[in-house]
Structure 1
Amino acid sequence: MVSVADSFTLIIDTEYVEEVSVPAQHRYFFTYTITLTNPLSQSVNLSSIQLLLTDGDGTVSKLNNPFQDNDYLISSQQDFCYSNDIITHSPLSIVQGKIEVQLNASELVVIMVEPFRLVTPNLLH
């Protein structure tokens, strides 16, 4: 059986921005965009985006959550795009977490953001 959370679609795009990165100083600049599609026949409120960054050295940190305590409406059958940029200390880092959407006054749906990589070109085969 498919849960309500499983019916939402997430597409994640990442990009390494070489022009502003300084590898000699362990500064790697990345951008990422998360696109969430609301498949439901009703609008939902975005409650929060909670992401954790695990840097290549194992350091874990929370990423900014601009939607906490704000109501952002995602209409039925519409996409919501969230973009952010980040500077890491490693050429390979992992981001993962969850997105929470409110269906109604009593039902919160948690959509898992599976781990995705921020990686410089040619680091991995």
Structure 2
Amino acid sequence: MTSKGAVNVEVQTRHLPDHPVTEKGQFAFAYQITITNHSDVTVQLINRYWLITDGAGKRSEVEGSGVVGKQPSLAPGEEFQYTSGAILDTPVGTMEGYYEMQCEDGEMVRVPIDVFRLAVPNSIN
């Protein structure tokens, strides 16, 4: 890739209080990811890695191919957006991770995803 940090990842989160999968004492969250390719080469998202930490310090890792069943290719200037979710045992937690992207020349690049918070509204003072 021609310039460092050329793939940008933005995250928006929200609490899902009425999500049917949550058991008593669990909290569901959605996160919307927007990946934008600011480089001058096409990149493809090959793998993902997430570290999810709840408010009690319980950590879980999620990794695998693509996101939401896709391995999108992004030409220069293109973006890809998707929504996924996480279930926590506490009303507050964090996620962080990275995407492994393959450039059109075959080079693999790790794009970090900064820590972001999952929180029930008004649960943090």
TM-score by length of 1: 0.83
- Give the aligned residue type for 1:41: D
- Report the counterpart of residue 31 of structure 2 in structure 1: 32
- 1:2-81 correspondence to structure 2 within 5 Å: 4-20=3-19, 25-63=24-62, 65-67=64-66, 71-81=71-81
Which protein is richer in helix relative to its size?
1
Range moving further from structure 2, 103-112 or 73-82: 103-112
Work out the CA distance in 1 between the residues paired with 2:20 and 2:54: 16
Runs (5+) with no aligned partner, structure 2: none
Counterpart of 1:20, as a letter, is H
1:115: which partner in 2? 115
**Does structure 2 retain, via aligned residues, the 8 Å contact 1:5–1:110?**
no
Query: What is the TM-score normalised by the length of structure 2?
Result: 0.83
Query: How far does the alpha carbon of each residue in 1:25-61 deviate from its partner, in whole angstroms, 9 at most, with x for none?
Result: 2110100011110012221111111111011121111
Name the Cα RMSD after superposition: 2.5
Indicate if the aligned counterparts of 1:34 and 1:83 stay in contact, CA closer than 8 A: yes
Is 1:97 matched with 2:97?
yes
How many Å apart are 1:65 and its aligned residue?
3.3
> Sequence identity, in percent?
25
Separation of aligned partners in 2, 1:80 and 1:31: 17
Distance of 1:80 and 1:121 partners within structure 2: 27
| Structure with greater proportional strand content | 2
2: CA distance, partners of 1:7 / 1:104 = 14
